[in-house]
Structure 1
């Protein structure tokens, strides 16, 4: 059962996603965190996956910022998470509209670790000619040659948040600034 929150989705579908960067968005460690740094307002609920009810904790202000960036057409948000097979659970809990998934159920069923799949999804976005925003607490490479290749030419913004704190207000400010350039 959710003690969730429905962000204001007025304005319907985003306006200009064709040019907007694709935002590959992870859930656990990015949105679902122990101590999000968005003020004292913290929501809790459960989402079901694999016949298990998983506890989810999130900052409604973070979800509202994501909704706003999407509604303005500044980003095209795609799930890039083990939650892709149960994305509707997360969307319902957070009060989000259905979003595309970067990972298929078939892909997820064949691997133990999804980091390589997520990296391939990031490379695919860039290969399609789109700019990339990627937020993931494990799969985004640390400062290495792989990270430098992904972000070459300023076409990608890679954010690897602390898994207990997730995305912070300053991360969303960076995402918005990147999307507006």
Structure 2
């Protein structure tokens, strides 16, 4: 019997768990803080806002479905996401990171392609069911990822960057993970959510 691969959650920070505006009001209270990041030759302070209830909901999904958290965000530079942001969020600990390698864009290459490349490399190393949520790159590159991972169950969610992930997005993840758990017929479950 083949080894079961745990589903992965490829997760962005800005516009997903930390929106550019305020989190969806359905989450209840929001929290905010500033994060100071030293990069060696430069430093920056980032003001972030998030919904603690969203972080809790993602952690519940991780626990219930053995969902592997994989950070796919510019916050992986100097591991700022795990070292500096996660302790402030109060959850989403112990995720794996995929390296930030945006590099110069080649002629005609859309921004953010590096994230799709890292995801595809990760899938090539060990294919497994996945959720990818990113406020801009899913819309730009999700169809390329779907084509390249054809046959691998996937769910792609592009949240609105001003509010980030909504309760409906978590419900969609839960429904997809439950269908995946239900058996082999779930191997055809893939899609890009476009209800924004």
Name the TM tier (shorter chain).
0.7 to 0.9
- C-alpha deviations, 1:94-126, integer Å up to 9, x for none? 12323210124xx25x45786111101222243
Structure 1 gaps of 5+ residues are 1-17
Give, in whole Å, the separation in 1 of the partners of 2:96 and 2:111: 17
Structure 2 match to 1:15: none
Shift of 1:152: 3.6
1:32 aligns with 2:18: yes
SS in 2 for 1:167: coil
Give, in whole Å, the separation in 1 of the partners of 2:62 and 2:149: 22
- Counterparts in 2 of 1:144 and 1:123: CA distance versus 1, 3 Å: closer
- C-alpha deviations, 1:44-101, integer Å up to 9, x for none? 1111224222111001110001111112243101110000121121111112323210
* Greater mean deviation of Cα atoms: 165-174 or 67-76: 67-76
Give, in whole Å, the separation in 2 of the partners of 1:144 and 1:82: 18
* Greater mean deviation of Cα atoms: 87-96 or 33-42: 33-42
Kindly indicate whether the alpha-carbon contact (under 8 Å) linking 1:125 and 1:132 is maintained by their aligned counterparts in 2. no
Kindly indicate whether the alpha-carbon contact (under 8 Å) linking 2:128 and 2:152 is maintained by their aligned counterparts in 1. no
Structure 2 match to 1:77: 69
Structure 2 match to 1:3: none
Q: What is the root-mean-square deviation in Å for CA atoms of aligned residues? A: 2.4
So what's the TM-score if we normalise by structure 2? 0.72
Kindly indicate whether the alpha-carbon contact (under 8 Å) linking 1:30 and 1:163 is maintained by their aligned counterparts in 2. yes
Give, in whole Å, the separation in 2 of the partners of 1:20 and 1:27: 22
Larger Rg: 2
